[in-house]
Structure 1
């Protein structure tokens, strides 16, 4: 019998104050990669209020799992069509039965086999998460899967190795040893710092063009400010 979100919530304890129970990231490479994925998407979607990003955050999805604490949450997950607000963890039965729409696991020697097998099966069969990617900051292994019917099917890379995410409306691809987002037209989604530097560079270029034009006008005997 399939339970509705309300029926599920009625059966579960009130867990809105459950703290995340995740271990530290494997290495500085993993931490930097996770921070990059979060910062770039939050910058790109800075005007949106209908999503939640979980970064190394626990997901609680059943009474048994809550009791055993035998599941480590994804490194990165995205839930759409929800309220953008801080959360201590993602508690499925307190969120209308919503599971992540996209998950990215960062492989490490300690977790790679589980991420490729047990977690992939869980995200496919229990979470029904539409898209699942994994990436290794160490070896640059990168794979992606999309839920088609009841099973994950591999997302084929394009000619430069990027994979399209229908959930994000963006490509995911490896550049300079890091997993990055790219627009449909192929432009890199910047970090806030990269965006600020780009804006400053464009302003400087515009000022330089204005000065060159003023010099050309003066050479023709025309005072640009007149």
Structure 2
């Protein structure tokens, strides 16, 4: 919950700006959180109690500008509350602090390791995740967990997030036709969840394998002098 002294009368999300007008300066800032969201849309398709937002402002006080992470996840909120969707995330309306925030470091350093780290700690964001593909001597992915009001760096790749029920990590793969290192969700055993394109490919392969199996069985029956009965479904 919020610890700020908020004014008595508070504006709604519709009355607040829905953007800070700051353009992204790296395409990865949209593609990486976009991939994570796309996987969740399939993985949690039956759940309606979560929100993964991309480049959406988080308002914590009506007189202060919003914090705009590259991506964030909230649990225990309405996935949609009307057909217009959310213009922004207003903490005094939602009453739920995001549990996971993602920042993708761009060529133009934006205080991901200093100011933003402190801001998310004050808000009470449990997991603050930073991804920087340009780092040479340190891991590209850092997962910080809030412990007693301070962030502690978690070890491993992927890192299991028990409060979310998912792991987060990075490895090489293909997304949007680009082969490089991407961020993915993982299960508790460290197995990566498939992207939507990979799931489609897997289903096609299964269908092809099933068809090949039917053809093999048909040929075996014919070799025994048995003509398979063909049933037309429809």
The reply to whether TM is greater than 0.5 is yes
In structure 2, do the counterparts of structure 1 residues 72 and 14 end up closer, same or farther at CA, with 3 Å as the change threshold? closer
Matched, 1:81 2:76: yes
Matched, 1:16 2:10: no
- The answer to whether the 8 Å contact 1:131/1:167 transfers is no
DSSP 3-state at the match of 1:208:
helix
In structure 2, do the counterparts of structure 1 residues 49 and 162 end up closer, same or farther at CA, with 3 Å as the change threshold? same
- In the alignment, the residues of structure 2 paired with residue 180 and residue 120 of structure 1 have an alpha-carbon distance, to the nearest angstrom, of 22
Matched, 1:215 2:219: yes
Residue deviations 1:65-109 (CA, integer Å, cap 9, x gap):
1xxx2x54111101100101120000111112x211111111113
Residue deviations 1:15-46 (CA, integer Å, cap 9, x gap):
32123224222222332212112111122111
Q: CA deviation at 1:171?
A: 1.8
**TM-score of the aligned structures, taking structure 2 as reference length:** 0.81
Aligned to 1:182: 186
Matched, 1:105 2:109: no
- In the alignment, the residues of structure 1 paired with residue 171 and residue 218 of structure 2 have an alpha-carbon distance, to the nearest angstrom, of 40
- In the alignment, the residues of structure 1 paired with residue 103 and residue 210 of structure 2 have an alpha-carbon distance, to the nearest angstrom, of 42
Aligned to 1:128: 124
In structure 2, do the counterparts of structure 1 residues 138 and 110 end up closer, same or farther at CA, with 3 Å as the change threshold? same
Q: CA deviation at 1:128?
A: 0.8
Q: What is the aligned-residue RMSD (CA, Å)?
A: 2.4
- The answer to whether the 8 Å contact 1:30/1:137 transfers is no
In structure 2, do the counterparts of structure 1 residues 19 and 38 end up closer, same or farther at CA, with 3 Å as the change threshold? farther
Bigger relative CO (Cα 8 Å, ≥ 6 apart): 1
Q: CA deviation at 1:51?
A: 0.8
Runs of 4+ in 1 over 6 A off after TM superposition: 2-5
**TM-score of the aligned structures, taking structure 1 as reference length:** 0.84
In structure 2, do the counterparts of structure 1 residues 60 and 3 end up closer, same or farther at CA, with 3 Å as the change threshold? closer
Number of aligned positions between the proteins: 213
- In the alignment, the residues of structure 1 paired with residue 153 and residue 3 of structure 2 have an alpha-carbon distance, to the nearest angstrom, of 30
- The answer to whether the 8 Å contact 1:39/1:191 transfers is yes
Which structure carries more helix by proportion? 1
Aligned to 1:148: 147
